[in-house]
Amino acid sequence: MVFNPKAEKPIIAVTGSAGKTMVKTMVSAILRERWVVFESKDYYNTVDKTLIHANEIDFIHRAAILEYGMAFPGAITEHCRIIQPNIGVITNVGLAHIGNFEGKVELLAAAKSELITEMNPSGILFINADDSKSELLHTRNFMGKILTVGIKVKADYTAENINYSEKGMTFTLILNGNEYPFLIPIFGEHNVYNALFAIGIADQLGFLPAEMETGLQTMKKPNHRLVIHRLKDGITVIDDTVHSHPPAVKTAINVLLNLAKQKKMAILGSMPELGVRTYQDYEDIGHHVADMKLDFLYTFGKSSVHIGEEAIKAGYPANQVKHYKQSYLKVMHRELVQTIEPGLTILVKGASRLNMYETVKFLCDHYKPD
């Protein structure tokens, strides 16, 4: 039986290859400026968790914000038949779980499009106008309102003048012909897109730009998602140890480049569920590392060795590459200490199943500020 959200209650469902948790967090932060809201826990985005949420959403909640995860066809349909959203967000169509879809982006987009066909047909759908793969979404027969966010192309909600600051990302929101300055306390251009989704939803629900800005500035930041640790000797560690798929790895490397003032190191873990695309995607990441001219590349886990191999083929210096199997974690830590020098910025990026947060913790303990 579909959960009855009561027509006046916004039920907001967020899906997509990346950004679900951050969009959910940002939406909740803004709406809490005025309302009591139900927010699903971080990463509680499987169908069994949606069943639990259906019993937890109460009359006191003015809105509910949920993540709808999708690893296989039919998953989002199941989510929607438990709790049918009237506001939907598809953050992007990337490569997460692509191995479960014969390596075909079209099949992945079709599975994400289940949100469009199963949500309230007169609801509001948000998509990313800059994401070319989102053009594969099945929007043609949707009878509700479709709104877009964008940075590079014209959209309903647009950000300009995007910059890195010491505290996060600054940008100018263009809304109804007016300009509003924003600061979000987290890094990366991709998080500006996430903020635009949250701003768009809040705008449709009648919130003011001042409420949006305050909510975003005071939001709680999800753990292990581009969290910055400033350590002794000017050493910086960027903890991004929850998920890992090709676009997310490139995004994290770009954050590293923008934050680093001196030398740069990336410690990259294996990427799961790429299927037939595995070697193609590792080759792509290897070439990206070579193009970005990182100073050191460490790879961790079984298949990530191909990143270093492909980087070397693309001209990256072989003496700046090291690979470690998962069982050699402590060896990697010992050799890291021998390599790290004052002023180095280190990105640790990998899927949670690799437990690469142990490396973040090791570095934070070893270089703990005095």
SS (H, E, C) 95-160: CCCHHHHCCCHHHHHHHHCHHHHHCCCCCEEEEECCCHHHHHCCCCCCCCEEEEEECCCCCCEEEE
In sequence order, the 6+-apart residues with CB closer than 8 A to the CB of 111 are 70, 72, 73, 74, 75, 76, 101
* H and E: helices and strands count for the chain: 12, 15
Among 20-29, 33-42, 178-187, 270-279, the minimum mean pLDDT is found in: 270-279
Distances in Å between the Cα of 89 and the Cα atoms of 11, 123, 138, 157 are 11, 11, 14, 14
Q: Could you tell me which of 5, 125, 124, 145 has the C-alpha nearest to residue 64?
A: 5
Q: Is 200 exposed, middle or buried (0-12, 13-18, 19+ CB in 10 A)?
A: buried
The predicted model gives 271-296 an average pLDDT of: 82
DSSP element (H, E) containing 213: helix 209-217
User: pLDDT digits over 109-120, tens only?
Assistant: 888 999 999 999
Q: pLDDT tens digit string along 31-50?
A: 999 999 999 988 788 999 99
Token pair recorded at residue 278? 């595995």
Q: What is the pLDDT of residue 42?
A: 80
The ranges of the chain annotated as CATH 3.40.1190.10 are 11-217
Average confidence (pLDDT) over 1-20: 74
Residue found by looking up tokens 């050699």 in the block:
328
Q: Which amino acid is at 287?
A: H
DSSP 3: B
**At 175, is the pLDDT very low, low, confident or very high (cuts 50, 70, 90)?**
very high
Please give the Cα distance from 309 to 299 (Å, whole number).
10
Residue with the two structure tokens 């793969």: 133
Between CA 151 and CA 174 the distance in angstroms is: 10
Rounded to whole angstroms, the Cα distance separating 366 from 348 reads 15
What percent of the chain is predicted at pLDDT more than 90? 75
Distance CA 87, CA 361 (A): 38
β-strands 321-324, 236-240: how paired? unpaired
Q: Please report where in the chains the tokens 């072989």 appear, as a residue.
A: 318
Is 50 exceeded by the pLDDT of residue 3?
no
For residue 189, pLDDT over 90 is answered with: yes
User: Tell me: the pLDDT tens digits for 323-368?
Assistant: 999 999 999 999 999 999 999 999 999 988 899 999 999 999 999 9
CATH number of 227-365: 3.90.190.20
pLDDT, residue 6, reads 45
Average pLDDT estimate for 281-304? 92
| Closest of 170, 175, 121 to residue 149, by C-alpha | 175
Quickly state the pLDDT bin for 98 (edges 50, 70, 90).
low
Distance CA 269, CA 271 (A): 6
Please classify residue 8 by burial: count the beta carbons closer than 10 Å to its beta carbon, then call 0-12 exposed, 13-18 middle and 19+ buried: exposed
pLDDT of residue 5: 44
Boundaries of CATH 3.90.190.20 in the chain? 227-365
Distance of CA 293 to the CA centre of its chain: 24
- At residue 223, the pLDDT reads 86
CATH superfamily of 11-217: Mur-like, catalytic domain (3.40.1190.10)
